[in-house]
């Protein structure tokens, strides 16, 4: 397995897609039930293959990631050849994960306690695995509104 298995909730959300996946492998509903009971390791493999397929599709489409912690905001644009990062670092004890802290940041972007960094980073040989590792570390896929805003502000 390249990524991670989908959660029970994710499988439930993707129920129809999973049925189509099984059908594409000529596995009927009865055969699937039989696999789960009599060959659970094979059923587990099918779940893993489906999970990887879903992850691969999601990661191929992902253009922006965000990871926000109390004193840092990491915003990533996932380009074709490299990723670009905008990092905001707070040098005070304001917690931007709270409504009040985020409001403080919005009102004090040019304060000396707010540092901006911009950097580019090349992908490794496996771009999607790079993206996945960032998600595992807490980043979330977004539409990129914050990245675009700060990119315009910085440049």
Q: What is the pLDDT of residues 3-42, one digit of tens each?
A: 999 999 999 999 999 999 999 989 999 999 999 999 999 9
Q: Are residues 46 and 97 in the same domain?
A: no
Query: What pLDDT is recorded for position 131?
Result: 96
- State the helix-helix crossing angle for 29-38 and 40-61, rounded to 10 degrees: 120
End-to-end distance of the chain based on CA atoms, in angstroms? 41
Contact by Cβ (8 Å): 150, 116: yes
- Claim to verify: residue 52 and residue 87 sit in the same structural domain: no
Any domain includes 144: yes
The answer on pLDDT for 153 being more than 90 is no
Tell me whether residue 31 is in a domain: yes
Strand order in the sheet with 64-69: 114-122, 82-90, 72-78, 64-69, 140-142
Instruction: Verify that 76 and 46 share a domain, yes or no.
Output: no
Does any domain span residue 108?
Answer: yes
Instruction: State which H helix or E strand residue 9 sits in.
Output: helix 8-13
d(CA 121, CA 134): 13
In a domain, 1, yes or no: no
Residue 155: is its pLDDT beyond 90? no
Percentage with pLDDT > 90 across the chain: 95
| β-bridge partners, 73 | 68, 88
What is the C-alpha to C-alpha distance for residues 45 and 68, in angstroms, rounded to an integer? 34
> pLDDT tens for residues 100-142?
999 999 999 889 999 999 999 999 999 999 999 999 999 999 9
Band of the pLDDT at 87, cuts 50, 70, 90? very high
Q: Confirm if 105 and 88 have CB atoms less than 8 A apart.
A: yes
Q: Tell whether the model's pLDDT for residue 154 goes beyond 90.
A: no
The residues, ordered by sequence, that sit 6+ positions from 45 with a Cβ below 8 Å of its Cβ are none
Cα separation, 150 vs 143, in Å, equals 14
Domain that holds residue 74: 64-154
Q: How many domains is the chain partitioned into structurally?
A: 2
The pLDDT, as a whole number, for residue 123 is: 95
57 plus 106 within the same structural domain: no
């Amino acid at each position: 397995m390249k990524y991670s298995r989908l959660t029970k909730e994710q499988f439930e959300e993707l129920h129809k897609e999973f049925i189509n996946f099984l059908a594409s492998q000529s596995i009927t509903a009865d055969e699937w039930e039989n696999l789960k009971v009599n060959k659970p390791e094979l059923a587990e493999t099918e779940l893993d293959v489906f999970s990887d397929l879903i992850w691969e599709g999601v990661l191929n489409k992902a253009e922006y990631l965000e990871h926000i912690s109390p004193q840092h905001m990491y915003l990533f644009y996932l380009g074709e050849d490299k990723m670009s990062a905008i990092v905001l670092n707070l040098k005070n004890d304001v917690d931007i994960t709270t409504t009040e802290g985020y409001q403080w940041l919005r009102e004090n972007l040019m304060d000396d306690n707010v540092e901006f960094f911009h950097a580019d980073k090349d992908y490794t040989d496996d771009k999607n695995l790079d993206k996945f590792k960032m998600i595992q570390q807490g980043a979330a896929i977004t539409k990129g509104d914050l990245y675009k805003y700060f990119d315009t502000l910085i440049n």
